[in-house]
Amino acid sequence: MPPVVRFAPSPTGYIHIGNIRTALLNWCVGKRVGGQFILRYDDTDTARSRQEYADAIRQDLIWLGMVPDLELRQSDRLSLYDTTTARLRAAGRLYPCYETEEELDRRRALQKARGLPPVYDRAALKLTDMQKAALEAEGRRPHWRFLLNHRRVEWEDGVRGPAHIDTSSLSDPVLVRADGSYLYTLTSVIDDIDLGVTHIIRGEDHVTNTAVQIEIFEALGGRVPVFAHHNLLTTLSGEGLSKRTGALSIRSLREDGFEPMAVSSLALLTGTSEAVRPVASLEELAKLVDLSRISRAPARFDPAEIQVLNARLLHETPYAEVADRLVALGVGGGETFWQVVRSNIVKLAETKNWWDVVTGPVASDVEDTAFLSRAAAVLPPGPWDETTWSIWTDAVKAETGAKGKALFMPLRQALTGLDHGPELKGLLPLIGRERVLERLKREF
């Protein structure tokens, strides 16, 4: 059967390039063989979830080309969670606990002092009905823990290979808070069963949840998906990324003018056996994904590399793919202009700067007006093409004796106002003879 994958962000901030790494891995594994890509907002944290963040997440995914096949919110599925939780309670897999957080902290501290692991001791299982009633009469409301089987849970991880966790080393996890709200550990499993998710691809920070969730899958009679835990993107100093800081958010990268495939290429290829390079499409990127070839080490990357990838991507982009965007920027010149300037830009918006150079006016500070006057005198007649620059500079060299930098730099500065830029053999015909004469003669 075609795979069913999901990306399940919490709408509590703007997602960053590390979050998109997870989304891309899921999209590539699912869509390259005709599977389904689900966007699920894990928004049961009502205190921090915001509609504006959910909207931004969808916009970011669509900008990157990952259009969801299905989109849903956990906040709309509470009745399903209620029904399923009742099943777990009836089966004796969820049990009520009345300890306060302070009491649990003291108990953990005591266990550590005795050299014992700070694992919940299941004291609540020993409470009688009368004791429970007395605690509730005091105003306490129970939180509900899942009764683990305390066994070795094994799975074949798509990235890490054979993996296992002994759940006897874990505390029975709280799945329902005292206020009745649900934790991700439970709702995620319920959704994955209900939606038929076949592959769960997520960051390695979720590895410790996997054994617990496998036991929940089994307790609910659901098919256990394939799990794969990839390495996380970090800064060069090894710091993790956070939605709270807004570091390298997709929203900010988009607003800064980066190309979606430059962002996707960096996010996905960093920390794999593939060389980090600009890839032209998600379909091509999907062909490069091999979960088993993702490194186990943290994927450290240099944010400045986005600039390099963006430039390389644009340098290889055909005119047809940017034509409408150039028009929207107010850039003319068609394909000829694009071919001339694309190797001199890092972001597409910079083409407007070069179009302004072509159409003028430009300012320069060339002091040798006599040289410019003699250059203007030997300016070739039209029409002009890519050979005109060579013909003209040969004539200027013969007329003035200038050569090398002394020949080319004053002409470049007078014509463009800059000491760098696209090759003038391509730029000169776009500027045109009339504007060239104006720029040469205004100096004297």
pLDDT in tens, 222-250: 999 999 999 998 888 777 776 665 668 99
Is 171 exposed, middle or buried, given 0-12, 13-18 or 19+ CB atoms closer than 10 A?
middle
441 marked ligand binding residue: no
> What was the pLDDT predicted at 64?
98
Distance separating alpha carbons of residues 222 and 193, to the nearest angstrom: 6
The segment(s) of the chain belonging to CATH 3.40.50.620 are: 1-90+151-164+182-316
One CATH from 2.30.30.830, 3.40.50.620, 3.40.50.720, 3.30.70.250 for 1-90+151-164+182-316:
3.40.50.620
For residues 338-353, average pLDDT: 98
> What was the pLDDT predicted at 444?
46
Check whether 155 has a pLDDT greater than 90: yes
Strands 4-7 and 36-41, sheet pairing: parallel
pLDDT in tens, 73-127: 999 999 999 999 999 999 999 999 999 999 999 999 999 999 889 999 999 999 9
pLDDT in tens, 359-403: 989 998 888 999 999 999 999 999 999 999 999 999 999 999 999
Distance separating alpha carbons of residues 427 and 345, to the nearest angstrom: 14
> What was the pLDDT predicted at 246?
60
Contact yes or no for 34/2 (Cβ under 8 A)? yes
For residues 262-272, average pLDDT: 95
Check whether 297 has a pLDDT greater than 90: no
pTM for the predicted model, two decimal places:
0.90
Strands 94-97 and 143-146, sheet pairing: antiparallel
> What was the pLDDT predicted at 242?
67
> What was the pLDDT predicted at 443?
47
One CATH from 1.20.120.530, 3.55.50.30, 1.10.10.350, 3.30.565.10 for 360-441:
1.10.10.350
Percent of the chain predicted with pLDDT > 70: 98
| Bridge partners, 154 (sequence order) | 164
pLDDT-wise least confident of 51-65, 287-301, 381-395, 423-437 = 287-301
> What was the pLDDT predicted at 166?
97
Distance separating alpha carbons of residues 233 and 240, to the nearest angstrom: 7
> What was the pLDDT predicted at 243?
64
> What was the pLDDT predicted at 237?
77
* Domain spanning 91-150+165-176, CATH architecture: Alpha-Beta Complex (3.90)
> What was the pLDDT predicted at 149?
97
Q: 253 phi and psi, to 5 degrees? A: -65, -40
